[in-house]
């Protein structure tokens, strides 16, 4: 049975209640997983490989169907993959952002306005005619985010978007998303295993074996995880 995915009318931009998912009877991924991200806040999802982070994000995005549970999301939503090459489909920056607006049947003048607004928000308007292949990894991720902004998404889901970036680009991107969340009133959930990225978010969840075992202040969670690393060198 699939969990209903409905628009959130509460103070939460993202709300998950008792979500369960398994690939097979002996491969349980999520077990009664629950979490809530307040509207207009930037939260991160932490956990070791295999804890269910990416699966949870795909369930939120509707890319997978859970066995049971409930999902509430402010709509529309945007999803940013770990590898931007998996979602950038057009030859140039501007064309790719515009491509996401096709279903809205907007006048060309409004499409141009939306594309310019979105690319300006991620500081890439000057590269609107640049071929996608000529961009850096960080620039590609910002184009993917611009696509969500152009569609006026209320929620951003980001699945380890800095995984393929160099250290400087990693922090540049997380700072950019933090600024966008605050300036545009977005709700964002960012999957990561990099503890330094916790310096930019409002709160964080720790996922272990398919359910949330801790949540709240990111600096407290950072200290907890650093302590675990120290205990297990």
* Domain that includes residue 46, residue range: 1-75+193-233
Is 129 contained in some domain? no
CA distance 150 to 119: 8
Alpha carbon of residue 150 to chain centroid: 16
**Model-wide pTM > 0.85:** yes
Phi, psi values for residue 204, rounded to 5° = -150, 155
120: in domain: no
Q: Is residue 213 part of a domain?
A: yes
Query: Is residue 13 domain-resident?
Result: yes
Domain-located, residue 200: yes
Spatial contact of 89 and 96, defined as CB atoms under 8 Å apart = yes
Rounded CA-CA distance 114/12 in Å is: 26
- For residue 57, is it within any domain? yes
**131, 88 in Cβ contact below 8 A?**
no
Does 144 fall in a domain?
no
128 DSSP assignment = T
Residue 146 lies inside a defined structural domain of this protein: no
Degrees, nearest 5: CA angle 166-37-63: 70
| Residues comprising the chain, all counted | 233
Total structural domains in the chain? Answer: 1
Per residue of the chain (233 residues), give pLDDT as tens.
445 554 544 689 999 999 999 987 677 899 999 999 999 999 999 998 888 999 999 999 999 999 999 999 999 999 999 999 999 999 999 999 999 999 999 999 999 999 999 999 999 999 999 999 999 999 999 999 999 999 999 999 999 999 889 888 899 999 999 999 999 999 999 999 899 999 999 999 999 989 999 999 999 999 988 877 555 54
- The one-character DSSP state at 4 is P
CATH of the domain at 12: 3.40.50.300
């Amino acid at each position: 049975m699939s969990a209903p995915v409905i628009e959130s009318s509460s103070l939460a931009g993202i709300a998950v209640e008792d979500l369960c998912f398994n690939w097979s009877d002996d491969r349980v991924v999520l077990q009664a997983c629950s979490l809530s991200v307040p509207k207009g806040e930037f939260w991160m999802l932490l956990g070791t490989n295999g804890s269910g982070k990416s699966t949870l994000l795909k369930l939120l995005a509707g890319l997978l169907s859970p066995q049971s549970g409930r999902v509430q999301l402010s709509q529309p939503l945007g999803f940013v993959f770990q590898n931007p090459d998996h979602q950038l489909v057009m030859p140039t920056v501007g064309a790719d952002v515009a491509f996401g607006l096709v279903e809205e049947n907007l006048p060309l003048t409004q499409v141009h306005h939306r594309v310019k607004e979105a690319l300006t928000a991620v500081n890439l308007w000057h590269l609107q005619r640049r071929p996608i292949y000529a961009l850096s990894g960080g620039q590609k991720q910002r184009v993917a985010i611009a696509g969500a902004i152009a569609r006026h998404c209320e929620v951003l889901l980001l699945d380890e978007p800095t995984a393929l970036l160099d250290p400087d680009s990693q922090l540049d991107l997380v700072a950019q998303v933090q600024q966008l969340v605050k300036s545009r009133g977005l709700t964002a959930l960012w999957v990561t295993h990099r503890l330094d990225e916790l310096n930019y978010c409002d709160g964080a969840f720790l996922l272990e074996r398919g359910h949330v075992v801790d949540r709240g202040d990111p600096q407290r969670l950072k200290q907890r995880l650093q302590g675990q690393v120290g205990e297990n060198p």
